[in-house]
Amino acid sequence: MTSPLFSDKSVAINQVRQMLALQDAMNTKVSATWRDNNYEWYRAIWVECAEMLDHYGWKWWKHQEIDVAQVQLELVDIFHFGLSLRLVAGGDVGAIASQVVNEFEQLEQDNQQGDFKVALEALASAAVSEKAFDALAFAQCLLLIDMDLTELFRQYVGKNTLNFFRQDHGYKDGSYIKVWHGQEDNEVLATVVKALDPSADDFQSQVYQALQSNYPN
């Protein structure tokens, strides 16, 4: 079986494995005991879903334009929380990566939800009712917003690296500067990741170095 989100399953598993490792490292940086802290990752998912719906547009009584970039960014944030849920559940990182990709693989081009809002509600529903991350519903959202696994990987690594950068530069004590030369750090990040090759072995390091060179002194 092939997936509209990726062409090479082994590459897909490796990408998800890398993202799981980065998520574990980020969570550990925030709290060494994060696995035992009973954080409500599922709640973070459905709250992000609601925020994303506003960026996508759902109000029939007014004109709205889909903010594709912001919707994609919200999906990346949700994947952070989804991976955290899977890590808390336990198991080998390789096994978790394979399971997530297997769930992604269930998505077929001709047998999927055609309405992004409904797919998003399925994702939120699993978070609310089952306190779980529905990878298939998430994959449907990706496809419907024209985002494949490689683009998810690019943006995920970028956002994860920015989160590390923020922590390293005073995010907790409030000294971090969020606006860099007239642009928010997320905007700078978007420009940085588009200029780099996500298949490079040192992709994360390149992103961090680029952020460092752009950060105002």
Exposure b/e, 16-38, CB count within 10 A at least 16 = b: bbbbbebbbebbeeeeeebeeee
Tokens of 21: 């490792």
Does residue 157 fall inside a structural domain? Answer: yes
* Domain containing residue 32: 9-214
Checking if the pLDDT of 200 tops 90, the result is no
Average pLDDT, the chain: 92
**Domain at 201, CATH number:** 1.10.4010.10
Does residue 52 fall inside a structural domain? Answer: yes
Checking if the pLDDT of 36 tops 90, the result is yes
Mean pLDDT computed over 166-187: 93
- Distance (Å, rounded) from C-alpha 156 to C-alpha 150? 10
Q: Is 86 exposed, middle or buried (0-12, 13-18, 19+ CB in 10 A)?
A: buried
Q: What pTM value is reported for the model?
A: 0.88
For residue 117, name the pLDDT band (cuts at 50, 70, 90): very high
Beta-carbon count within 10 A of 1 CB = 8
pLDDT at 127: 97
Query: 198: helix, coil or strand?
Result: coil
> How many separate domains does the chain show?
1
